[in-house]
């Protein structure tokens, strides 16, 4: 292994992660989480049409590869007159993907809140929407933290697929350096190490957040 190459390429790869992978993950996850809440509420709607829309969305997202979704957004939409740059395309595709998976997490978390909490809200004069916002969703959020955190960590790795639509992030930088140096094994292992490093730090943050939230749960 060429250790000088490893040292010389470490900062460019790390920088690709810090200015590409992590911001892309944060933006996509934030947008996807908002979408997930909306889809989860559609799934829980007593209106059969709205519920069907929610189920159809989840089925389509979970039943198709993320790579195909990225290609549809970036390479497919221009054929119908919608031209997007790589970054917006990546954020839209990743957010839609996160929304499909996280919607089921949010829905399950909402259903885990005892029905008595709804009744408590109605008793003090809250509307259905106010009860949901002030009582149900805060409790559901605490329950959903562990699985949503896992989704976030998985998203960090999934961003590597955006290199196929010309987004400059950690893996795209690794491809550039590997092609230039012709040391593919060395560079890709180094890139894998940096992904692992990011995920390890995030997993530690997840554990700390879960322990902090656990203080507010009655045992």
pLDDT in tens, 115-159: 877 777 877 778 777 888 788 888 888 888 889 999 999 999 999
Report which of residues 75 and 140 the model is more confident about: 75
**Where are the extended beta strands (E) located within the chain?**
none
Whether 110 shows a pLDDT value over 70: the answer reads: yes
Other Cβ atoms less than 10 A from the Cβ of 200: the count is 11
The full set of domain ranges for the chain reads 3-214
* CATH code of domain 3-214: 1.10.3720.10
Checking if the pLDDT of 215 tops 60, the result is no
Q: How far apart, in whole angstroms, are the C-alpha atoms of residue 197 and residue 146?
A: 19
> Closest Cα to residue 65, out of 94, 29, 85?
94
User: Is-contact 117 136, C-beta < 8 A?
Assistant: yes
Rounded Cα distance between 206 and 21, Å, is 18
């Amino acid at each position: 292994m060429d250790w000088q190459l490893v040292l010389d390429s470490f900062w460019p790869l790390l920088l690709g992660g810090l200015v590409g992978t992590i911001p892309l993950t944060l933006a996509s996850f934030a947008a996807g989480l908002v979408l997930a809440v909306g889809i989860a509420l559609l799934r829980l709607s007593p209106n059969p049409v709205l519920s069907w829309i929610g189920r159809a969305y989840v089925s389509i997202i979970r039943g198709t590869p993320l790579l195909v979704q990225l290609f549809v957004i970036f390479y497919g939409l221009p054929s119908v007159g919608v031209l997007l740059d790589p970054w917006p395309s990546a954020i839209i595709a990743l957010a839609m993907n996160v929304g499909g998976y996280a919607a089921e997490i949010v829905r399950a978390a909402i259903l885990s809140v005892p029905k008595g909490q709804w009744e408590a809200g109605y008793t003090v004069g809250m509307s259905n929407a106010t009860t949901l916002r002030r009582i149900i969703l805060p409790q559901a959020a605490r329950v959903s933290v562990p699985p949503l955190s896992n989704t976030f960590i998985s998203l960090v790795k999934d961003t590597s697929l955006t290199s196929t639509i010309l987004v400059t992030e950690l893996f795209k930088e690794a491809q550039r350096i590997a092609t230039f140096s012709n040391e593919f094994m060395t560079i890709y292992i180094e890139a894998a190490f940096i992904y692992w490093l990011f995920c390890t730090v995030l997993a530690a943050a997840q554990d700390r957040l879960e322990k902090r939230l656990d203080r507010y749960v009655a045992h």
